[in-house]
Amino acid sequence: MKRLLGFALALILVAGTASAAPLDAFKGQKGTLDIAGGTAHIPVMKAAAKSIMNANPDIRITVAGGGSGVGVQKVGEGLVQIGNTGRPLKDGEISKYGLKSFPFAIDGVAVVVNPANTVRAMTRAQLLDVFAGRVTNWKQLGGADAPITLYVREDGSGTREVFEGKALNKGTAAAKANVVNSNGAMKTAIMQDKNAIGYVGIGHLDKSVTGIVLDGMTPTQANAADGSYTVTRLLYMNTKGEPTGLLKAFIEYIYSPEGTSFIQKAGYIPTGKK
Segment 118-147, tens digit of pLDDT = 999 999 999 999 999 999 999 999 999 999
pLDDT for residue 11:
36
> Is 70 exceeded by the pLDDT of residue 236?
yes
pLDDT for residue 178:
97
pLDDT for residue 156:
82
Percent of the chain past pLDDT 70, that is, above it, reads: 93
Q: Is the pTM of this model over 0.85?
A: no
Count of CB atoms situated within 10 Å of the CB of 93? 20
Q: How far apart are CA 79 and CA 106, in angstroms?
A: 26
pLDDT for residue 221:
85
pLDDT tens-digit readout, 78-101 = 999 999 999 999 999 999 999 999
CA neighbor of 175 nearest in space, from 198, 152, 194: 152
Confidence of residue 19 (pLDDT cuts 50, 70, 90): very low
Contact indicator for 197, 130 with CB cutoff of 8 Å: yes
> Is 70 exceeded by the pLDDT of residue 234?
yes
Q: How far apart are CA 214 and CA 221, in angstroms?
A: 14
CA neighbor of 270 nearest in space, from 76, 48, 72: 48
pLDDT for residue 20:
55
pLDDT for residue 267:
82
> Is 90 exceeded by the pLDDT of residue 175?
no
Confidence of residue 8 (pLDDT cuts 50, 70, 90): very low
Cα–chain center distance at 121: 24
pLDDT tens-digit readout, 45-91 = 999 999 999 999 999 999 999 989 999 999 999 999 999 999 999 99
**Better-predicted residue by pLDDT, 178 or 203:** 178
Contact indicator for 45, 63 with CB cutoff of 8 Å: yes
Domains of the chain: 21-105+234-270 (3.40.190.10), 108-232 (3.40.190.10)
Residue type, 149: T
Q: What is the DSSP code string of 43-112? A: HHHHHHHHHHHHH-TTEEEEEEEE-HHHHHHHHHTTS-SEEEESSPPPHHHHHHHTEEEEEEEEEEEEEE
* Three-state DSSP state, 15: helix
Q: Please give the sequence-ordered ranges of beta strands (E in DSSP) within the chain, or none if there are none.
A: 31-37, 59-66, 82-85, 99-113, 121-122, 149-153, 178-180, 196-201, 210-211, 213-214, 232-240, 269-270
Give the phi and the psi of residue 247 in degrees, each rounded to 5: -60, -45
Average pLDDT over residues 2-17: 38
> Is 90 exceeded by the pLDDT of residue 203?
no
Give Cβ neighbours of residue 154 (< 8 Å, ≥ 6 apart). 67, 160, 179, 180, 181
